[in-house]
Each structure stands twice: as C-alpha cells, then as structure tokens.
Amino acid sequence: MADTMTIKLVFSGGLELLFGNERNQSVLIPPLVPSDNSTHSSPSSSPSTPSSHNDIPSTGETKAADLEYLIYHLRDHLLKERPELFMENGTIRPGILVLINNTDWELEGEGSYQLCNNDEIVFISTLHGG
Amino acid sequence: MSSCGNPATEEQALMPRRLKFGKSKDCVRCRLKPGNIVIRHAVYCKECFTPIVDMKFRKALEPSVNARAGTSKRPKLKASGNLCLAFSGGLGSSITLDIVHNTYFSSRPPLDDLGKPRGGTNHPRNVSVWPSCLVCYVEVCGAFAGMHDRTEDIRSVVERYPSFEFVPLRIEDAFDGSWWTKVSGSNITPQVWLELSKEGLITDGLHVASKVTDLTPVEAMRSYLSSLPTQTAISSALQNLTRVLILHTAHSRGSSHLLFGSSLTSISISLLSSISQGGGYAIREELQEEWAPVAASGSKPNNVLRVIRPLRDVTAKECAIYAWWNNISVVGRDKQRRAILGIAALTKNFVVGLEKDYPSTVSTIARTCEKLEPKDVPSGQCRLCKRPMQSAIQEWKDRISIRSYSDDKLAADLAHIPSPCRGNLDTRTPPQVPPLLALTDFLCYSCHTTLTSRSSRGVKQSAPGVSSATPLPIWVADRGLHEDGLIGDGTRRKIPKEEMLDIVANFLINDQELRGMRYLQRFL
C-alpha cells in the first residue's frame, strides 16, 4: 500500500484569513480517495484514529487522490469560516488562482491533476481589487 | 437528457472540455521553456511573464508623461510636476507602487559592462522623470463601525520604498473644513446641507439649507451616509469621496500625474457598475482623464492633473501572479468592507465569474467602453463627484417619470386599487414647484440618482430623533454656491454685500486683534 502523501499548502491574497490566518500549512492525503470526494475518512482530519483509516474505504468507488478531492478536504477539515468564499459549484470559487508547483493549474488539468508526495499547492485570491 | 437520434453516436458520450490554452504548453514568447501560467489562452514561462507585465505598464503610462506629445517617436520623458499614487492596500495598487519604484525611482540602476547605467540615453531609469512621488491612502474605518484602522499597516508598506512620501487621509476629511483650507486655500467655505424627508432620506427636490453645527467630521460623514437610500448609493458615495479627496490632495501638492492601481478586471467592473447607476456620461473619465478644479471667475485656470490607470491592460489574474512571483506583499481590505452589498458587489461577482470561463470578454468590456463618448459638450463639472456633467437632466427626468397622480386619466386608472392601499398615492394637484430646484442643476445624473433613487424594497425605517438635514462634502460649496443665493428657502436671490459681511464677521480679524498679534510677534 502506497504511503500517505504530504501536500504543502500556501494561502495568499487574503485567503489565509479563512484558514485561521496561517499562510503555510500541510495536509496528509491518502493515495486513494472516494470518487464522490467524501472526506469523512481522511487521515489528517483525525490523527488519533487507528491506522486502518489509511485503508481503502469500504463503500463506493475510489480514485487516485486529485486536486478536486484536496479542495473538498480543505473545505471540510481546514477551513475555519465562510466556505462559500472558497468553494462554489463543486470547485474552487472564481477569483481564486491555484498554482501546482509554481504552475497554473489550467496547464496541469485543473481538478483532475493527480497529487504527488511533497507537491506544493498555492491558493491566491485575486479579489482584493486595485 | 434526450437523445439526438443519431445511431452512430455513443449515447453517454460527453463533449470534450475545451482547452484553456493553445496546443502547446511551452512559452509562446521564448519557445524554450515549459509554460507556468496561462493568460487569455497564451502560455508564458515565469521568466518571460514579468517583463511582459512591466512593458504593458509602461506602454499605458509613458505616452501621457510629457505635457506635449512632440514629434519624436521615443521622446525623453520629463513630467511637469511630481507623481501621486493612489494606494488602497489592494493588489493592483501594491503592484503599481512596486513597478513605479523599480522603474522610475530606483537609486541603483543596473550597470552594463562599462559601468554605465544600462538602457541607453532615453531609458527612464537614467533620467528623473518625476522629481518626487506621493503615496495617498484614504482610511475608511470611520464609515464602518468596528473596522480596524489600517493607516499604520499601510505606512509600514510604503516605508519600504524610501523615495516615496506617505500622505495619509481619512474619509471624513471630506467634511472637514481644515482639510479643505489646506488643499484649496479657501479660508471660508460654508457647509451645505440637504433637507431630509420624514423617513430620514434625501428628498427628490434636493433643497439645500445653511446650518451652523458642532458635528465632528466623522459625525457629519456618518449622517451623510445614513441619509443615502440604498447600499449601492453608500458604496458609490464612498468611492466618490475617496476619489475626490485624492484628486484635490494630488493637485494641491503640485502633481502632474495621478496613478490608480485599477486592473483590467477592476476597470471592467467599475465601468459596468457605473453605467448601471447612470454614470455613462463620464465613461471616458473612468478610464483616463485630465482633471483640474474649476477656477473661480476671474482667476487663471488651474494646472491639469492627468489621471492614469497603467494596469488597464493587466487582468486581476496577471496581477496576482506578478505579486506572487515578485514577492510583493498585499495588505488587502477589511472583510467588512468587502461584504458591502449593492450593484458594485454584484457586478464584481459577475465579472470575476466571466473572467474564469471567458477571459477575453473582460477585455471586451473595457475595449468597447473605450470607443464610447458622449454626444454633447459638458455643461460643467458636477459639484459632488467632480466629473463632467450633462445639461438638462431635470427636464429629461420630468419627461420620463410620473411626478404626480393628479392627472384625471391616471386617477381613473388607479380607481381599482383598494382605498387603504391608496394612502401613499396623493392625487391632489401638487403645489407650485419653485422654477429652480436648489442643487439639481449642479449635479450629474449619476450623483442625482445616488442621492434620490429609492430601493424597490421600500424606504428604511427612520430612527427616533432623525435629523431634518444632512451635511454634504465640503467641496460642494466651493466657488460661490453660497453667493448664488441657493442656500435659504430654495429660491435664488442675490445676497447683499452687507448681509455677506454679517455672515463672515466672526471670521474677520478686527484692528484691535491685529495690533495685539503684531505685538506678540515681537517676542517670538
């Protein structure tokens, strides 16, 4: 079984205010996640639970952990307030720029980009205007 | 979902998602490195991206630097006054601050192999284009209860650029006579007040009054904002107050150029928002303008201030990436400020969503507006927003609106409405309206709408003890509004010289006081 992946996160442009004012964070993501992006059995959400939570979930289909799942995970486990300012219609809210290892996520397939260990994902809000 | 009936197709086939960039993921500029960012379907690498934004900035700014265009294709840049930057702490103005410093005020220009400043004779870094630079910031916490004062946070950002002078302002300065004296040189400017209805809102007639009060500037500003009819009006009023404060400050400090950090996205938002509130006449001024305070009759014309938005070709996405890759810190805005509802906020949500899916359409909004201009010559400058004003606004409003229900046919049409519901419909013949409504002829259509347009949800409930009048920004009374006799009972009259002397008597120094001051000067 592949190990859990460490994903480094950076929030900028005021987005850090929604995540407890912490610009730099990291999360642990399993290699396989539910296809419906359900985040109930995520290892980084409950560190005190037994290691069996790293196993494949027993219900539903699975997929390789991708950026779409990461966004759901951040909304459900790291976001402190105002989820509607982060996610909209199942994806990142318009006006928030996503960089995967310093590259625009539009070049990497957006939500379908498959996460790798030690990836750095940067979320920048462009809504501060002039 | 119904089938098209074609047996050759797969029933569950989905339309492939359209790529947001061209065929190749390599940089379109250098064609050597893989791309890092997609800007309107074009792919750029990190190294090529920053110079592109710098070039867009300079192309938008430099043609307007010299007072006269001249005949040279690449003239030496030399401005007639100093530079003023309007800084909000947002993304665009933070980038503007950084680019202006690095391009025009850096004291250590890069050198070539011979030890000379790099860039050739006409390169802006080798010449002092502007002798100095002011950075104006307007603190708005006075308008919102509980908002944090960010003046010192902003000061710490500006202090990282030692060539810049920080000029902090406050939104309530618009109601402060001492600030107006500093920027205009006028010692005596009476406060103009607008009469309010029983609901505490500004009346359609815009009747002005003269009042002496001990309200502080903050209290006067809050009274003004609370008398506005909608959230849209409050948002619009704050934008106008901020802009006019900066305009007057920049002009009074000898600036020849004033830069705003509005990105292409912000400009598109403000254009749509302004047009939807009746500001179409000043659409060109939203993009770029040459502004000067209207001079009093008999005095020489004021120097012109060129207001430029050098990021007008740079989208919000490009600004965000530029700030990230160049380590430009952005202070940002308070959450309460961003939560203001109204047309401006709704337009912003719409345009930002448009930029995500159809990025080229945001540019189309600005480009289309650039081609528009009003048909006729302005009849003057609006006293409230200081923008060009069209003529005959009141006549046009009279033609398109119902002013009373006294018309016989209209009264017959309203007969089907139950009596209890007809309480607000006054079908009596209205009293004779004075031929000249006090402030109407001095406001543009947009400002008139801001002050009087009611919400479709009905009027707000008035608080107990609501005031009968509200103060207007101090500049409304400039250049003789009082002298024209508009302050009083709403009718025009010429104030006799003796009456004018009575009004200003308390401000005049008599001979005895003058002798006393001269005596004290000997000891200083």
Across chain B, mean pLDDT equals 79
Contacts of A125 in chain B (CB under 8 A): 320
Q: How far is A118 from chain B (nearest CA, A)?
A: 19
Nearest residue to A106 via CA among B351, B325, B36, B15: B36
Domain assignment of residue B499, yes or no: no
In a domain, B518, yes or no: no
> Sign of dihedral through CA atoms B242, B244, B247, B253?
negative
Contact A102 B46 (CB under 8 A): yes
pLDDT at B434: 43
Do B38 and B82 reside in the same domain of the chain? no
Q: Which residue has the tokens 């995967």?
A: A100
CA B491 to chain centre: 32
Same domain, B141 and B60: no
Chain B closest CA to A47's CA: distance in Å?
A: 32
- pLDDT tens column, B348-358: 989 988 888 88
What ipTM was estimated for this complex? 0.85
Indicate if B131 and B29 belong to the same structural domain.
Answer: no
Residues B55 and B135 in one domain: no
B166 and B58 together in one domain: no
Domain match, B32 and B149 both: no
- The answer to whether B346 contacts chain A (CB < 8 Å) is no
What angle (nearest 5°) sits at the alpha carbon of residue B283, between those of residues B471 and B402? 60
Report the C-alpha gap between B36 and B110 in whole angstroms: 27
Ranges B212-221, B430-439, B512-521: which has the least confidence: B430-439
Residue B21 per-residue DSSP state: B
Answer yes or no: are the C-beta atoms of A71 and A92 closer than 8 Å: yes
Is B260 an interface residue toward A (CB < 8 Å)?
yes
Nearest to A126 among B260, B262, B319 (CB): B319
Q: What residues of chain A lie within 8 A of the CB of B36, using their CB?
A: 102-104, 107
Calpha distance B364→B80 (Å, rounded): 34
Q: Which residues of A touch B263 (CB under 8 A)?
A: 129-130
User: Residues B316-328: pLDDT tens digits?
Assistant: 999 999 999 999 9
**Pairing, β B388-389 against β B380-381:** antiparallel
Q: Count other Cβ atoms within 10 Å, centred on residue B175.
A: 25
**Residue at token pair 């928002």:** B273
Instruction: Cite the DSSP H helix spans in B261-378.
Output: 264-276, 283-287, 316-325, 335-338, 343-357, 359-370
Report the domain count for chain B: 2
B265: which chain A residues are within 8 Å (Cβ-Cβ)?
A: 126
Same domain, B53 and B166: no
Asked if residue B358 is part of any domain, the answer here is yes
* Strand-pair partners of B35: none
The answer to the question of residue B467 being in a domain is: no
Q: Choose one of B320, B343, B377: the last residue of a domain.
A: B377
Q: Would you tell me which residues 205-234 of chain B have a C-beta closer than 8 angstroms to some C-beta of chain A?
A: none
Q: How many C-beta atoms surround the C-beta of residue B511 within 10 A?
A: 7
User: Could you tell me the CATH number of the domain that includes residue B314?
Assistant: 3.40.50.620
- CB neighbours (10 Å) of residue B429? 10
Pairs of residues, one from chain A and one from chain B, whose beta carbons lie less than 8 Å apart: 86
Interface check B352 vs A, CB under 8 A = yes
pLDDT of residue B58: 94
The residue ranking higher by pLDDT, B425 or A8, is A8
B93 and B36 in one domain?
Answer: no
Q: What is the DSSP letter of B26?
A: B
- The answer to the question of residue B483 being in a domain is no
CA distance B169 to A95: 30
B348 vs A contacts (CB less than 8 Å): 127, 129
Among the residue ranges B88-92, B321-325, B367-371, B484-488, the one predicted with the least confidence is B484-488
Burial class (CB in 10 A: 0-12, 13-18, 19+), B226: middle
Contacts of B451 (CB under 8 A, 6+ apart): B194, B202, B206, B228, B229, B233, B443
User: Nearest-CA neighbor of B77 among B108, B44, B38, B105?
Assistant: B105
Same domain, B142 and B218: yes
Domain assignment of residue B369, yes or no: yes
| Shortest Cα–Cα distance, A5 to chain B (Å) | 24
pTM, two decimal places:
0.80
The contacts of residue B149 (CB under 8 Å, 6+ apart) are B139, B141
Nearest residue of chain B to residue A124 (CA atoms): B320
CA distance B365 to B267: 9
B117 falls within a domain = yes
Whether pLDDT at B119 is above 60:
no
Choose one of B319, B351, B377: the last residue of a domain: B377
- Please tell me the least confidently modeled range out of A84-98, B143-157, B335-349: B335-349
Structural domain of residue B345, as residue ranges? 78-188+214-377
Bigger pLDDT: A21 or B400? Answer: A21
B314: confidence class by pLDDT, cuts 50, 70, 90:
very high
Is B402 part of any domain? no
Pairing of strands A24-29, B82-86: unpaired
Q: Are residues B155 and B31 in the same domain?
A: no
Hey, of B48, B49, B137, B324, which one would you mutate to test binding to chain A, going by the most A CBs within 10 A of its CB?
B324
Q: B371 and B259, same structural domain?
A: yes
β B289-291/B305-308 pair status:
antiparallel
Whose structure tokens read 């007040």? B193
Reported confidence tier of residue B485, pLDDT bands at 50, 70, 90: very low
> A99 falls in which pLDDT band (50, 70, 90)?
very high
CA neighbours closer than 13 Å in the CB half-sphere of residue B293: 24
Between these two residues, B414 and A67, which has the higher pLDDT value? A67
Assess whether B36 and B154 both reside in one domain: no
Question: Considering B358, B377, B396, which residue would you say is the last residue of a domain?
Answer: B377
Q: Check pLDDT > 70 for residue B204.
A: no
- A109 vs B434, higher pLDDT: A109
